[in-house]
Structure 1
Amino acid sequence: MQLSKETIIEQANKSCKNTLMETLDIEVIDYGDNFLIARMPVTPKVHQPDGVLHGGATLALAESVGSFATHIFVDINKYFVRGIEISANHLKSVREGYVYAKATFVHKGRSTQLLEIRVTDEKDRLISLCKLTTLSLPRTA
């Protein structure tokens, strides 16, 4: 039985309980055949001292959405997923509202996956462009 899109999104968000994703209020909001989108509110809790979005919070959002995307597209009963490399170019600052991260697969290999994550603001302006490599390894008994 294939799960509905709504059920998968609900399960993804439930899995964030008591994690960094819950701390940063990251919420999965959509996915399709080759992408996943999450959002994060920009509040003082994710600001750097001068009142703009902290690059580390942006990277936490990017790695979270990229790892979630890989989880959806691999059999997590047979494999576990880990981020092994992330990089970002921060292009614009944000003080409030939401940022949206859309992870899209560049490569879907058996053991490694490469994703591009575009972080945008509410007006769809590019805030950061990130690249994440994930590793899917077989679970052992």
Structure 2
Amino acid sequence: MFQDLSKTINEVVSFTNKHRVDTKFNVHQVADLLGENGNPDKLWASFEKQAGVYVLISFTASKVHYVDMSEKDIGSRLYYWLFKANKVQEALSNNDIVLTINLKNQSYMSPALESFLISRLSPELNVKNVA
């Protein structure tokens, strides 16, 4: 898991340095965002109304589950995948990692970063890899 998290952060830093994009990282466990370890409101507040990209990383297996983005608010996109019955939610465990990359000042770079990370990380649940 830490190798995948480290690789993901290195890829993001490579992209953001090359394109001079300002970012802020947040790392949480799925259980924390679901409120199973206390009140999640403070955690969600750190990214939910920000543009950016999020990456769902397996804690036990060496793989990235899913990469997605929002040009407006990461929280509404991530909420769906964590709380509604769907292919991503079914693949997650409470120990899995959620990495959010806030792009507050350059929201227009969210689609580019998402595409870059999908091509570099080959997440198992993104449509390009499910056929």
TM-score clears 0.5: no
Bigger share in helix: 2
Bigger share in strand: 1
Give the number of the structure with larger relative contact order, counting CA–CA contacts within 8 Å between residues 6 or more apart: 2
- Which one has a bigger Cα radius of gyration? 1
